[in-house]
Amino acid sequence: MMPPDQNMTDANRGCGQRLRAAREAAGLSLHDVASRLKMPVRVVESLEAEDWDRLGAPVFIRGQLRSYARLLGLATETVHMASGVAPVRPVELTPRTYVPRMRLIAEQSARRLVYVVITAAIALPVWLATRPHLAPQDMVSGSLDVPADIADDAVRQAPRGPTPLVASMAPVAQRQAPAAAAPQQAPAFELRTSGDSWIEITTPEGGILEQTLLRSGAVRAFAPGEVGGVVLGNAGAVEVRRDGVEQDISPYLRANVARFTVSSDGSLAPAGH
């Protein structure tokens, strides 16, 4: 079982003990971790024993702790603080030249002025080019049954004033009712946790899709054909669903660790088959 959350963040607990507890909860051996991190088993043992003298400079120790913590889904900053290994700080550079404050203010003001001038130079021509299109256009309408000369006289004799609005007799297009939203389908493959669990999800080609520590109440959903293999630590706290239907993973359990594959149609099979 994964240790309680408060134990994983206890400031008085050494980083090596945290790493060991998380590894055991995930059902991984020292050789499994060494194989996945591409490092010797003695290095993994030294990290869990906090034997920093065997691991070299602090920069290498922090890098190996970061890789181990990420593999188990732990917060790297918390592990670094618990290890007591000081971070590598860059050399502080002291400027040799002094720039007066007024000169800095003048340079900043000049840059802002250049920005304003460039913006105005771009925006003003655009505004002038679009202004004629925004001006209201006068509309004069006449009956098609009246001769052109009589219509012209009527227009000349008409009193000057605001141009009347012309009502159109064309039928108004009916607004179509929005189509009904399609019902949301359940994910093809889904994981739901009721307790902390370490998971490893691989693609059908063997690549790592997700490798992390899921907290209680977490949900992960995947599209059809996206998942090829699954490893679940603390598998008793994980609910596996296929198209919304819970699947029985008891045939793939061993020491509370489940290993199985997912076919293209979503069915489960033991790992290695």
| 53 contact partners, CB below 8 Å, separation of at least 6 | none
204: tokens are 């059908």
CB neighbours of residue 16 within 10 Å: 20
Q: What is the pLDDT of residue 53?
A: 76
Q: What residue spans of the chain are helical by DSSP H? A: 5-8, 15-25, 30-37, 41-49, 58-72, 76-83, 101-134, 148-157
The domain segmentation of the chain, as residue ranges, is: 5-83, 189-270
Chain segment 128-145, per-residue pLDDT in tens: 887 765 555 555 444 444
Q: Is the pLDDT of residue 4 over 50?
A: no
Kind of pairing between the strands at 197-202 and 257-262: unpaired
Comparing 9-13, 130-134, 232-236, which segment has the lowest mean pLDDT?
9-13
pLDDT band at residue 21, thresholds of 50, 70 and 90? Answer: confident
CATH number of 5-83: 1.10.260.40
Q: What is the pLDDT of residue 201?
A: 93
More confident call, 133 vs 260: 260
What counts of helices (H) and strands (E) characterise the chain?
Answer: 8, 10
Q: Is the pLDDT of residue 216 over 70?
A: yes
Q: Catalogue the E-assigned strands of 145-218.
A: 189-193, 197-202, 208-214
Contact (Cβ atoms closer than 8 angstroms) between residue 232 and residue 199: yes
Contact (Cβ atoms closer than 8 angstroms) between residue 189 and residue 166: no
Query: Alpha-carbon distance 249 to 242, whole Å?
Result: 12
Q: Is the pLDDT of residue 3 over 60?
A: no
181: tokens are 């939203």
- Say what the pTM is: 0.36
The angle at the Cα of 58, spanning 50 to 17, to the nearest 5 degrees, equals: 20
